[in-house]
Amino acid sequence: MLICAATGNAGKLKEIRRILEAQGHTVKSQKELGIVLEPDETGTTFAENALIKAKEICQASGLPTLADDSGLMVDALNGAPGVYSARYCGRHGDDEANNDKLLAELAEVPQEKRTAKFVSAVCLYLPSGKQVTYLGECPGFITFERKGDKGFGYDPLFVPEYVGLEQGGVAQNTQHRTYAELEAFEKDAISHRGKAMALLDEHLAEFLQQAGEQ
């Protein structure tokens, strides 16, 4: 299936493309399709924002469209930054400033209270108006300093509980490596977005059949 990825985030697009292509789909970004829309994320949940983005970009592209809305929820901050993760510092997409603010907010918080989780809502919206959304979560904690250069966003500060294994399955992250220190296979197997995309893939054929697309 040819799917439009409704994102302008290069890191997120790379992950979405890697996961969907491994599942046998072809991905075109909205930029590659000449779509410059940036839908207003007015939802109060990740699922609401994913639907808003998927619907608007689908209507513009005429293609099945996948949108992801995701973010970091920190227990010591009552779930913040949450849906405001990308603009936590007051500017959208400034990863360094967002990370600086998060570290400052947690400066006096001890290790045992720095628990957090990444959450992803993935919405696939069809030109017919049919849509489906799946959620994925990855628990972990926030480090005291950045580590790694493979990720984006809050990846250098987030340590997941588990990592994926090259031969399949998962293992405890005993080395306390951050998302940004993991190889693609280690992250995709346990990441919030990887889990949401796996659920989508698991149910995609049934959804398309029910929607009359197969």
Structure confidence at residue 20 (pLDDT): 85
Residue 205 carries which DSSP code?
H
b or e along 147-158 (b: 16 or more beta carbons within 10 Å of the residue's beta carbon)? bbebbbbbbbbb
Structure confidence at residue 41 (pLDDT): 87
Q: How far apart, in whole angstroms, are the C-alpha atoms of residue 211 and residue 128?
A: 8
Structure confidence at residue 67 (pLDDT): 95
Largest interatomic CA distance in the chain: 55
Question: In degrees rounded to 5, what are phi and psi of residue 68?
Answer: -120, 135
Reading the block at residue 17, the tokens are 């493309």
Catalytic residue among 69, 95, 155, 188: 69
The pLDDT tens digits of the residues spanning 64-119 come to 999 999 999 999 999 999 999 999 999 988 999 999 999 999 999 999 999 999 99
Radius of gyration (C-alpha) of the chain in whole angstroms = 17
Closest by CA position to 61, among listed 49, 72, 53, 50: 53
Q: What is the pTM of this model?
A: 0.88
Domains of the chain: 2-210 (3.90.950.10)
Structure confidence at residue 214 (pLDDT): 56
List Cα–Cα distances, 16 to 27, 76, 106, 113, in angstroms: 8, 30, 30, 31
Structure confidence at residue 208 (pLDDT): 84
Closest by CA position to 13, among listed 24, 36, 1, 29: 29
Whether 75 sits among the annotated catalytic residues: the reply is no
Positions in the chain short of pLDDT 50 = none
